[in-house]
Amino acid sequence: MMHTELTSTPDRQRFVYIETMGCQMNVYDSERMGEVLSSEQYAPTDDRSTADLIIINTCSVRDKSEHKMVSMLGKLRPLKEHNPELVLAVSGCVAQQEGEKLLKRVPHLDLVVGPDQIADLPVMVRNAREQRSRATATRFIHKNDYEFIEAQAPADGRVTSFVTVMKGCNKFCSFCIVPSTRGREVSKPSDKVVSEVQMLVDSGIREVTLLGQNVNSYGLDKRGRKGVGGELDFSGLIDRIAAIDGLERIRFTTSHPMDCSDRLIDAFGRQPKLMPWFHLPIQSGSERVLRMMRRRTIVEDYVDRIERLRKARPDIAMSTDIIVGFPGESRADFEQTLELLRRVRYSSIYAFIYSPRPGTAAARIEDDIPLAEKKERLYAVQQLQNAVTAKWLQSFDGAELDVLFEGPSRLHSRGQKSNSIVARAVGGPPQLMGRTPHNVKVNVETTDFYALRDWPGQIAKVRIDHVGNHSLNGSLVAFR
């Protein structure tokens, strides 16, 4: 039950520490939580020991992050005992799934807040702080009433940003908990998406990544599959965003193959701001396993779409998700996954061992593959993909690529404030990190004293001098 009573005005600066687990949607939600909490005078901090409010923004797609949440809650207990004023909250997918049960299980937890209730967070936090009230808010808001929280201009000097364009999922893949934790699909009105991107561009953003559980079905909740009604489809949305002056690059994630339309494929051929990088999850190369996963995907149709994407944009970098050890996955099924990886030659993949998620259809099927066998399959997938990725990265050796600089490279900025010009004095010659159109990180060292100040947000030709396992090193040729 949620309390909504406001009792007094905030009296002093407070600090919030947000631990974000899981996907980019959670990163975006954490940013919105930080923004709405500024009305209660909470400023972000990286130091949880001095925080007045700690939020764990959770993910329940895999059991690993759920275990991480449980362990973190355990570690926070002494902090809460030492400082009873501290407000402790769990948000995100585990909050949605567990609700009230989580409050009962964890006596030192104050708030459980589902993804649809972020707007209520300031009131809940205030009541927890002033009345010591514990509360749960996990109600889904009907799609007709759902309002996306307006993003604020970032003040941290970043040049890339996520933009949520829709929430929820209607697909119900048998292994996935997302439709239960994020609800049904709701698209953000295109006018709102465009004004958010315009606001971001005005504040220095040069690249946006459009987010949703399945962005390819953008607008379907308003239009229906026949395209009747007042909303754009996803390719139309990309075209509108691309018309914004000052925006250099558009990416998106994530997608379901079923909704990868011809119009979207064409967009890769005609829209230069749409970067040649496409994450299109397949999960398995076996039709039999895909049916058990309820993926509604035919492998040959999927491969055909990729071939058409490569015709539209020959250099497009494809990536995917693979689950190994799904219940009933035979050796022959698994071999088909390996075969698919050899055929498609992804630039990268995210491969996972299947683990049943409570509340999903697959959790009712016997998890019959021994863990040792699952690990062996994961290893085989990773070995194969590592070789493909290495060859693909090697193809950039000596090439001149367009790189959008984002800020100091991680090595260089360790322990220092991002974009700080002081970094040069502390860490030797500046080393900046940028990304190629294919989303590969490139580190560039320079003797330009002002590079950390001047380069972020600019696109330059960079010659690749060294190819690493996951990133590249290069030297500046010229700014565009």
x/- string (CB under 6 A) for ligand SF4, residues 434-453?
Answer: --------------------
Residue spans of beta strands (DSSP E) within 2-157: 14-20, 42-44, 53-58, 87-91, 111-113, 135-137
Tokens of 19: 């631990």
CB of 172 to ligand SF4, least distance (A): 6
Cα–Cα distance, 86 to 79 (Å, whole number): 8
Contact call for residues 379 and 118 (beta carbons, < 8 A): no
Q: How far apart are the first and last CA of the chain?
A: 56
Span near ligand SF4 by CB under 6 A; candidates 167-175, 284-292, 373-381, 395-403: 167-175
x/- string (CB under 6 A) for ligand SF4, residues 228-267?
Answer: ----------------------------x-----------
Cα–Cα distance, 262 to 164 (Å, whole number): 23
Question: Per DSSP, what are the bridge partners of residue 163?
Answer: 210
CB of 48 to ligand SF4, least distance (A): 30
Q: Using the rule CB under 6 A, is 167 a contact of ligand SF4? A: no
Contact call for residues 257 and 301 (beta carbons, < 8 A): yes
Q: Using the rule CB under 6 A, is 212 a contact of ligand SF4? A: no
Q: Using the rule CB under 6 A, is 279 a contact of ligand SF4? A: no
Q: How far is CA 64 from CA 69, 78, 174, 282, 355, in A?
A: 9, 23, 19, 22, 9
Crossing angle between the packed helical segments 190-202 and 234-242, to the nearest 10 degrees: 30
Q: Using the rule CB under 6 A, is 404 a contact of ligand SF4? A: no
Smaller CB distance to ligand SF4: residue 286 or 436? 286
Smaller CB distance to ligand SF4: residue 61 or 193? 61
Smaller CB distance to ligand SF4: residue 290 or 452? 290
Q: How far is CA 63 from CA 89, 119, 353, 354, in A?
A: 20, 27, 11, 10
CB of 177 to ligand SF4, least distance (A): 8
x/- string (CB under 6 A) for ligand SF4, residues 171-210?
Answer: xxx--x-xx-------------------------------
Q: Using the rule CB under 6 A, is 169 a contact of ligand SF4? A: yes
Smaller CB distance to ligand SF4: residue 165 or 169? 169
Smaller CB distance to ligand SF4: residue 176 or 309? 176
Smaller CB distance to ligand SF4: residue 296 or 466? 296
Q: Backbone dihedral region of 40: left (phi > 0), alpha (psi from -120 to 50 degrees) or beta?
A: alpha
Contact call for residues 443 and 413 (beta carbons, < 8 A): no
**Of the candidate residues 180, 190, 213, 286, the single one contacting ligand SF4 (CB under 6 A):** 213
**Binding footprint of ligand SF4 on the chain (CB under 6 A):** 169, 171-173, 176, 178-179, 213-214, 256
